[in-house]
Amino acid sequence: AQTVTQSQPEMSVQEAETVTLSCTYDTSESDYYLFWYKQPPSRQMILVIRQEAYKQQNATENRFSVNFQKAAKSFSLKISDSQLGDAAMYFCAYRGGATNKLIFGTGTLLAVQP
Protein backbone atom coordinates (compact mmCIF):
# COMPACT_ATOMS: atom_id res chain seq x y z
CA ALA A 1 0.00 0.00 0.00
CA GLN A 2 1.10 3.53 -0.67
CA THR A 3 2.04 5.77 2.23
CA VAL A 4 2.98 9.42 2.58
CA THR A 5 5.11 10.69 5.46
CA GLN A 6 5.61 14.25 6.62
CA SER A 7 8.11 14.22 9.45
CA GLN A 8 7.83 17.90 10.43
CA PRO A 9 4.63 18.53 12.42
CA GLU A 10 5.44 22.25 12.71
CA MET A 11 7.77 24.70 11.01
CA SER A 12 8.40 28.40 11.43
CA VAL A 13 9.90 30.92 9.02
CA GLN A 14 10.58 34.65 9.06
CA GLU A 15 8.76 36.77 6.56
CA ALA A 16 10.74 37.08 3.29
CA GLU A 17 12.87 34.04 4.14
CA THR A 18 12.86 30.61 2.51
CA VAL A 19 11.54 27.42 4.07
CA THR A 20 11.52 23.79 2.92
CA LEU A 21 8.87 21.27 3.92
CA SER A 22 9.73 17.59 3.67
CA CYS A 23 7.71 14.70 2.32
CA THR A 24 8.57 11.10 1.58
CA TYR A 25 6.35 8.44 0.09
CA ASP A 26 6.35 4.75 -0.56
CA THR A 27 4.93 3.08 -3.64
CA SER A 28 5.60 0.26 -6.05
CA GLU A 29 3.79 2.04 -8.88
CA SER A 30 5.70 3.70 -11.67
CA ASP A 31 3.03 6.15 -12.80
CA TYR A 32 1.70 8.58 -10.22
CA TYR A 33 1.24 12.22 -9.31
CA LEU A 34 2.36 14.12 -6.24
CA PHE A 35 0.78 17.27 -4.87
CA TRP A 36 1.17 19.87 -2.19
CA TYR A 37 -2.05 21.29 -0.79
CA LYS A 38 -2.41 24.21 1.59
CA GLN A 39 -5.16 24.41 4.20
CA PRO A 40 -5.42 27.82 5.90
CA PRO A 41 -7.59 28.36 8.99
CA SER A 42 -10.55 28.86 6.66
CA ARG A 43 -10.28 25.07 6.03
CA GLN A 44 -10.42 25.36 2.23
CA MET A 45 -7.91 22.94 0.74
CA ILE A 46 -5.98 24.77 -1.97
CA LEU A 47 -3.73 23.15 -4.57
CA VAL A 48 -0.24 24.63 -4.38
CA ILE A 49 1.75 22.59 -6.87
CA ARG A 50 1.74 19.27 -8.72
CA GLN A 51 4.43 16.94 -10.04
CA GLU A 52 4.04 14.12 -12.53
CA ALA A 53 6.32 11.20 -11.68
CA TYR A 54 7.41 10.72 -15.28
CA LYS A 55 8.73 14.28 -15.50
CA GLN A 56 12.29 14.76 -14.36
CA GLN A 57 12.01 18.54 -14.23
CA ASN A 58 10.95 19.91 -10.87
CA ALA A 59 7.67 21.82 -10.88
CA THR A 60 7.60 25.54 -10.09
CA GLU A 61 4.69 27.87 -9.39
CA ASN A 62 5.82 31.42 -8.66
CA ARG A 63 7.37 31.34 -5.15
CA PHE A 64 6.70 27.63 -4.74
CA SER A 65 8.96 24.91 -6.10
CA VAL A 66 9.55 21.24 -5.44
CA ASN A 67 12.58 19.02 -5.20
CA PHE A 68 11.41 15.69 -6.60
CA GLN A 69 13.82 12.82 -6.07
CA LYS A 70 12.09 9.79 -7.57
CA ALA A 71 14.68 7.20 -6.61
CA ALA A 72 14.69 8.42 -3.03
CA LYS A 73 10.88 8.82 -3.06
CA SER A 74 11.22 12.31 -1.74
CA PHE A 75 9.08 15.33 -2.63
CA SER A 76 9.93 18.50 -0.71
CA LEU A 77 8.29 21.91 -1.08
CA LYS A 78 10.33 25.10 -1.05
CA ILE A 79 8.61 28.40 -0.34
CA SER A 80 10.69 31.43 -1.24
CA ASP A 81 10.12 34.99 -0.02
CA SER A 82 7.64 33.75 2.59
CA GLN A 83 4.58 35.91 3.18
CA LEU A 84 2.20 36.13 6.12
CA GLY A 85 -0.51 34.62 3.92
CA ASP A 86 1.56 31.46 3.53
CA ALA A 87 0.79 30.50 7.12
CA ALA A 88 -1.27 27.32 6.92
CA MET A 89 -1.23 23.55 7.22
CA TYR A 90 0.55 22.01 4.26
CA PHE A 91 -0.30 18.51 3.10
CA CYS A 92 1.70 16.33 0.77
CA ALA A 93 -0.49 13.98 -1.27
CA TYR A 94 -0.03 11.02 -3.61
CA ARG A 95 -2.36 9.86 -6.37
CA GLY A 96 -1.70 6.74 -8.40
CA GLY A 97 -3.17 3.51 -9.66
CA ALA A 98 -6.78 2.78 -10.46
CA THR A 99 -8.25 3.81 -7.14
CA ASN A 100 -8.03 7.49 -8.01
CA LYS A 101 -7.92 8.51 -4.36
CA LEU A 102 -5.52 10.98 -2.80
CA ILE A 103 -3.35 9.65 0.01
CA PHE A 104 -2.31 12.43 2.36
CA GLY A 105 0.51 12.91 4.78
CA THR A 106 -0.22 14.12 8.29
CA GLY A 107 0.58 17.71 7.44
CA THR A 108 3.06 20.38 8.46
CA LEU A 109 1.81 23.49 10.23
CA LEU A 110 3.75 26.47 8.91
CA ALA A 111 3.94 29.68 10.93
CA VAL A 112 5.26 32.86 9.32
CA GLN A 113 6.79 35.38 11.72
CA PRO A 114 6.65 39.09 10.80
Question: Rounded to an integer, what distance in angstroms lies between the CA atom of residue 84 and that of residue 58?
Answer: 25
Nearest residue to 78 (alpha-carbon basis) of 94, 60, 93: 60
Q: How far is the CB of 65 from other proteins (least distance, A)?
A: 17
Q: Which residues, in sequence order, are CB contacts of 100 under 8 Å at separation 6+?
A: none
Q: How far is the CB of 6 from other proteins (least distance, A)?
A: 10
Nearest residue to 23 (alpha-carbon basis) of 4, 47, 41: 4
Nearer to other proteins, 3 or 83 (CB): 3
Q: Which of 96, 108, 110, 112 binds other proteins (CB under 8 A)?
A: 96
Q: By CB under 8 A, tell whether 111 contacts other proteins.
A: no
Q: Which residues bind other proteins (CB under 8 A)?
A: 31-33, 35, 37, 42-47, 50, 52, 91, 95-96, 99-107
